[in-house]
Amino acid sequence: MSHPAFGPRDGRERNARSPRAPTVGFVSLGCPKALVDSEQIVTRLRAEGYDIAPSYEGADLVVVNTCGFIDSAVAESLDAIGEALAANGKVIVTGCLGAQGNVVRETHPAVLAVTGPHATEAVMDAVHAHLPKPHDPFLDLVPPQGIKLTPKHYAYLKISEGCNHRCTFCIIPSMRGDLVSRPVGDVLQDAENLVKAGVRELLVVSQDTSAYGVDLKYRTGFWKGRPVKTRMTEMVRHMGELGAWVRLHYVYPYPHVDEVIPLMAEGRVVPYLDVPFQHASARILRLMKRPAAAENNLARVRAWREVCPDLTVRSTFIVGFPGETEAEFEELLTFLEEAQLDRVGCFPYSPVTGAAANSLPDPVPDDVKQDRLARLMQVQERISAARLSRWVGREIDVLVDKVDGNTAQARSTADAPEIDGRVYVSQARWLRAGEFARVRVTGADEHDLFADSLTV
């Protein structure tokens, strides 16, 4: 996922920077967690009076926030750095690729500085060294919600860094370290600031949202003078009071996740869980060293739906993991048939430099991986279409992303931005982007819903 350079938020802010402020071009690559890092850096830059350029050419230097998760992301990041060097010449690199030894410097020795992920201070130090900050106290003002790279009405909210797990296909813990949870009072304050600034949907992200607070032994923090435990359930219960949608990503199926399902049934938290199961075979899950590998995921999903029938479950799976047999792959297909998950992403296993799984025996040939991917997606398309059809005829709330004449693109509680489907709304001329609306669903396919606006 790439978020290209962007410019000032409005003309007033541009005029406040006269004479011309030092200008930083910014390129953000990678996952939502990297996007949150970018938002923090941009917020600091703006707070110190730097301007943000919409192009390399108009910038005094460029910051590239890289991704190093899989080999194609490494290549994309190295290309972006090369492009910025060619167009601008002064480039600072940050993000996951920066944590991977000398990869960046070996390919692009001309970069000014390289840091790892969530290194706002180190990036700021590098910017100060190569583009001294201006001295204008008025420019130190920054909106309390910070600067966001997503559209105005939704925002990613990172609640922790790092991960205590050691999944064998993943190198994130070696790049980002063990879990460090943010103080619950800070997280809730950020959430409130965002909602006050017009955000209608908070997307809670971390490497393992269900583990929030484990490192702090779930200690009690404070928000608005009230004690709040540093724990997922307590955090989202309070977040759900703010009046925005709260959507949970990267939740593992631990027993305590059951506690948030009643909050979803009550409408305090969006009835949506993004649970990366990755596989259904117990042996493959053990080889992957997945969190909660011993849980009965099927029973858990069924129990969740009994409490909250409107729950949407999204998941991702890997096919062709080393040693995966045809029988184990079929076990995964059977799991999908039984679990009836709403949304599924699937990836053929691809070795990541430095991952423990690379040394596992019996790699699966590429053509078999591709065949399994196609078979899985064929099964899932049918399931997704059947799951979506249950909305047809119902009146639901949607969040409007875009209005174009008499039609609008919106999302229901079942659709996270960028990864899920959309609700295409007709008779939408009275709707406004960034606001909630009530619609009647008239049709569905395997990805999207079609609806009529009830606002006339």
Considering only residues 402 to 431 of the shown chain, the ones binding ligand SF4 according to CB under 6 A are: none
Of the candidate residues 24, 29, 170, 188, the single one contacting ligand SF4 (CB under 6 A):
170
| Among 167, 149, 132, CA closest to 49 | 132
Interacting residue with ligand SF4 among 126, 163, 232, 399 (CB under 6 A): 163
Q: Which residue type is seen at 145?
A: Q
Candidate segments 118-126, 159-167, 236-244, 257-265, binder of ligand SF4 by CB under 6 A: 159-167
Site size with ligand SF4, rule: CB under 6 A: 10
Name the minimum Å distance from CB 288 to ligand SF4: 8
**Cα(364)–Cα(366) distance, integer angstroms:** 6
Segment 274 to 313, residues that bind ligand SF4, using CB under 6 A: 291
Binding string, 202-241, against ligand SF4, x = CB under 6 A? -----xx---------------------------------
CB of residue 260 vs ligand SF4: minimum separation in angstroms? 18
Q: Is residue 17 at the binding interface for ligand SF4, with CB under 6 A as the rule?
A: no
* Stretch near ligand SF4 under the rule CB under 6 A, chosen from 168-176, 386-394, 428-436, 440-448: 168-176
Q: Least separation, in Å, of the C-beta of 125 and ligand SF4?
A: 27
Options 162-170, 189-197, 351-359, 410-418: segment touching ligand SF4 (CB under 6 A): 162-170
Give whichever of 173 and 323 is closer to ligand SF4, judged by the CB atom: 173
CB of 278 to ligand SF4, least distance (A): 8
Region from 106-114, 161-169, 371-379, 430-438 binding ligand SF4, contact rule CB under 6 A: 161-169
Q: Mark the segment that binds ligand SF4 (CB under 6 A) among 95-103, 140-148, 164-172, 235-243.
A: 164-172
CA distance 265 to 269: 8
For residue 361, whether the previous peptide bond is cis, meaning omega lies within 30 degrees of 0, is no
Largest CA distance in the chain: 68
Residue 208 CB, shortest distance to ligand SF4, in Å, is: 5
Closest CB 182 distance from ligand SF4, rounded Å = 17
Residue 173 binds ligand SF4 (CB under 6 A)? yes
- Nearer to ligand SF4 by Cβ, of 205 and 336: the residue is 205
Of 60-68, 169-177, 298-306, 324-332, the window that binds ligand SF4 (rule: CB under 6 A) is 169-177
Q: Does 30 bind ligand SF4 (CB under 6 A)?
A: no
CB of 252 to ligand SF4, least distance (A): 7
* Interaction site with ligand SF4 (CB under 6 A): 163, 165-167, 170, 172-173, 207-208, 291
